[in-house]
């Protein structure tokens, strides 16, 4: 008898089918990976088990948990199960905690509710659990508020809440997607330990095959609300019998083809090629927080005297954990944030002086692609106007020429000319990111700064966008500064890597050298933490054969 057995689960929300005959099961103390792209119904499957579905949901089929049929269970009995026998961890740690209550209160609440413990008993238990999730009591965690913690710490608190009463089943919905690779590795470790120590079953929802390959015993792959394939995790991922499994696996370690060899700084210098962008000892400060009407704290140094060159057609990666200053550096290069010191040269023009005509002209050739394909477009404008935005620096173009430029840009990213009359809500996430690239291309740039351009996208879309970026690079000789925390992506597309930590570069060199022979501990940590499908599969196959021997 499985702990959780879902049979032919169907779900409609306001008449729209979401899940179609989904069946899966989890054994006691085992980890089931539930994999799928966004919109595949994986979160809805989890919420069906919790019975926390949005209004207008119509559930059919059977969910039996520990011998009880949940589909017919009333709300009061569900409340007894939730938080006690079934715990749940959500994706976004920044918003998952009540900002007005202390960490202690929030953990103790469930303990008091289910166990009838007094406040002080519950607080004692809460302190123990915090210790278990790696937040020792000497840091006064109980009396702190969520805003005083980092994202990783908050996710530990959310896990503490879910595991406070040692549930039989823990559901984790993309628990590490919003976190850095190093924090992700720590949180996954923590989940693994908790599951083993407390003999819990874990339903791990993820879009990342690497994470699942590392964690799961069994695997279920969902697509459009239907189960594509399920079975032993290593077996499913190694043999890839289902075409969709193959497609997902290929996409998650996809490397775009390239016609030209990588552009390396050492070779370019030898050939006497002048750098396209040259950054010399740049410093970026954020003004200190206002302490009073006349007092300010000292400024925060986000970027601390860094220097590098980007050569024409080169793809430079800028990697590091969140808060290391990589986005600030990108903004500084674009002139969105003024540097406090240092020299910037682009295309032979100094960008450090006050604005002048030469500079304005040069800036035309530097464009940006943002991370969020949903937030970075004005929803009230048509695509033609959105894509044409960078052309305000080219006033000499006639309306016909501008229109032609827009059409060319759209076509070069694989969209249609007629798309320019549409509004942004008519496009999917992947198409929007294509539009963002079209917007950057329209002024025929020499350098595109791409700030996490694929991290909001599903694996198959990610592979497509990487292909597109690589193709544009080969065709138009564009250089990229690729800001990312995803090392798989960096390895797939970049020529050189800058590793950044606390505003400084710790390592800099060609991709192959950095990935195969990292010199710094920090780089090694980053590399070790990055989930890698092939590596994990290899390790786990080796383990099983060891056991057999």
Partner 1 sequence: MLAFLANRLFALGLTLLLATVVIFLVLEIIPGDPARLMLGINATQDAVDVLREQMGLNQPPLQRYWSWVTGLLVGDFGTSYTYSVPVSELILERIVVSLPLALIALTLSTLIAIPVGIYAASHRGRVSDTAVIATTQLGIAIPNFWFALLLVYVFAVSLRLVPAGGFPGWDAGVWEAVKALILPSIALALPQAAILARVTRSAIIETLGEDYVRTARAKGLTYRQTLWRHTLRNAMIPVVTIMGLQFAFLLAGTIIIENVFYLPGLGRLVFQAITQHDLPVVQSVVVLLVATVVLINFLVDIAYAVIDPRLRRSVS
Q: Which of 12, 66, 92, 403 binds partner 1 (CB under 8 A)?
A: 92
Q: Which of 15, 272, 292, 395 binds partner 1 (CB under 8 A)?
A: 292
d(CA 265, CA 488): 22
Site residues for partner 1, window 59-88 (CB under 8 A)? 75-76, 79-84, 87-88
Nearest CB to partner 1, comparing residues 80 and 393: 80
Return the exposure string of 518-545: e unless at least 16 CB atoms fall within 10 Å of the residue's CB, then b.
beeebbeebbebbbbbeebbeebeeeee
The helix/strand count (H/E) of the chain reads as 20, 20
Residue that the structure tokens 């519950």 belong to: 122
Sorted by sequence, the CB contacts under 8 Å of residue 521 that are 6+ apart come out as none
Identify which range of 154-162, 280-288, 522-530, 538-546 contacts partner 1 by CB under 8 A: 154-162
Residue 190 C-beta: closest distance to partner 1, Å: 18
Q: Which of 1, 270, 291, 399 binds partner 1 (CB under 8 A)?
A: 291
What 3-state class would DSSP assign to 531?
Answer: coil
Residue 83 C-beta: closest distance to partner 1, Å: 3
Nearest CB to partner 1, comparing residues 110 and 453: 110
Sign of CA dihedral 100, 76, 124, 189: negative
Phi, psi of 22 (to 5 degrees): -85, 130
Q: Is 234 left (phi over 0), alpha (psi -120 to 50) or beta?
A: alpha
Site string for partner 1, 159-178 (x = CB under 8 A): --xx----------------
Residue that the structure tokens 């990055």 belong to: 530
- Crossing angle of helices 459-476 and 243-252, in 10° steps, is 50
What 3-state class would DSSP assign to 361?
Answer: helix
Site string for partner 1, 391-430 (x = CB under 8 A): ----------------------------------------
d(CA 541, CA 269): 45
Site residues for partner 1, window 94-113 (CB under 8 A)? 95-101, 109-110, 113
Structure tokens at 220: 């279920």
Nearest CB to partner 1, comparing residues 158 and 191: 158
Nearest CB to partner 1, comparing residues 96 and 349: 96
Nearest CB to partner 1, comparing residues 82 and 337: 82
Nearest CB to partner 1, comparing residues 143 and 477: 143
Nearest CB to partner 1, comparing residues 293 and 399: 293
- Crossing angle of helices 459-476 and 429-441, in 10° steps, is 20
Position 194 contacts partner 1 (CB under 8 A): no
Residue 95 C-beta: closest distance to partner 1, Å: 4
What 3-state class would DSSP assign to 134?
Answer: coil
Nearest CB to partner 1, comparing residues 92 and 474: 92
Site residues for partner 1, window 459-498 (CB under 8 A)? none
Structure tokens at 122: 């519950």
Residue 46 C-beta: closest distance to partner 1, Å: 10
Q: What is the DSSP letter of 261?
A: P
C-alpha distances (whole Å) from 357 to each of 186, 363, 367, 374, 428 are 50, 10, 18, 33, 38
Nearest CB to partner 1, comparing residues 41 and 110: 110
Site residues for partner 1, window 14-53 (CB under 8 A)? 50, 52
Q: Residues interacting with partner 1, by CB under 8 A?
A: 50, 52, 55, 75-76, 79-84, 87-88, 90, 92, 95-101, 109-110, 113-114, 145, 147, 158, 161-162, 290-293
């Amino acid at each position: 008898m499985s702990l959780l057995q879902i049979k032919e689960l169907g779900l409609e929300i306001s008449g729209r089918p979401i899940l179609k005959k989904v069946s899966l099961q989890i054994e006691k103390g085992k980890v089931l990976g539930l994999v799928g792209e966004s919109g595949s119904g994986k979160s809805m499957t989890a919420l069906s088990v919790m019975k926390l579905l949005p209004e207008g949901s119509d559930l059919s089929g059977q969910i039996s948990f520990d011998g009880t049929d949940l589909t017919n269970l009333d709300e009061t009995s569900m409340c007894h199960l939730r938080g006690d026998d079934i715990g749940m961890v959500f994706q976004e740690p920044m918003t998952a905690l009540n900002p007005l209550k202390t960490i202690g209160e929030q953990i103790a609440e469930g303990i008091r509710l289910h166990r009838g413990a007094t406040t002080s008993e519950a607080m004692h238990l809460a302190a123990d659990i915090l210790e278990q999730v790696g937040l020792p009591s000497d840091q006064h965690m109980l009396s702190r508020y969520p805003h005083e913690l980092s994202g990783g710490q908050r996710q530990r608190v959310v896990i503490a809440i879910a595991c406070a009463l040692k549930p039989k089943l823990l559901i984790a919905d993309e628990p590490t997607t919003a976190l850095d690779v190093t924090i992700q590795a720590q949180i996954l470790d923590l989940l693994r330990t908790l599951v083993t120590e407390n003999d819990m079953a874990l339903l791990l929802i993820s879009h990342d095959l690497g994470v699942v390959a590392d964690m799961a015993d069994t695997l279920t792959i969902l697509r459009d609300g239907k189960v594509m394939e399920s079975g032993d995790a290593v077996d499913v991922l190694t043999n890839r019998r289902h075409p969709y499994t193959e497609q997902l696996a290929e996409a998650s370690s996809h490397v775009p083809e390239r016609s030209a060899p990588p552009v390396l700084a050492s070779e370019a210098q030898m050939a006497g090629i002048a750098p396209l962008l040259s950054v010399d000892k740049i410093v970026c400060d954020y003004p200190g927080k206002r302490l009073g009407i006349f007092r300010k704290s000292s400024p925060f140094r986000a970027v601390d005297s860094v220097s590098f060159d980007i050569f024409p057609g080169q793809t430079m990666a800028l990697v590091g954990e969140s808060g290391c200053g990589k986005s600030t550096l990108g903004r500084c290069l674009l002139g969105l944030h003024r540097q406090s010191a240092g020299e910037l040269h682009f295309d032979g023009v100094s960008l450090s002086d006050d604005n002048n005509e030469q500079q304005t002209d040069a800036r035309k050739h530097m464009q940006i692609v943002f991370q969020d394909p949903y937030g970075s477009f004005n929803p009230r404008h048509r695509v033609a106007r959105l894509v044409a935005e960078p052309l305000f620096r080219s006033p000499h173009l006639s309306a016909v020429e501008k229109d032609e430029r827009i059409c060319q840009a759209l076509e070069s990213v694989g969209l249609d000319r007629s798309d320019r009359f549409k509004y942004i809500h008519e496009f999917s996430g992947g198409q929007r990111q294509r539009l963002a690239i079209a917007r950057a291309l329209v002024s025929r740039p020499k350098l595109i700064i791409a700030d996490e351009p694929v991290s909001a996208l599903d694996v198959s879309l990610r592979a497509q966008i990487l292909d597109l970026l690589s193709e544009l690079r080969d065709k138009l000789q564009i250089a990229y500064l690729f800001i990312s925390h995803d090392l798989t992506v960096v390895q797939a597309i970049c020529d050189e890597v800058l590793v950044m930590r606390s505003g400084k570069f710790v390592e800099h060199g060609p991709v192959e050298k950095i990935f195969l022979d990292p010199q710094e501990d920090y780089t090694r940590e980053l590399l070790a933490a990055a989930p890698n499908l092939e590596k994990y599969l290899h390790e786990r196959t080796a383990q099983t054969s060891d056991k057999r021997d």
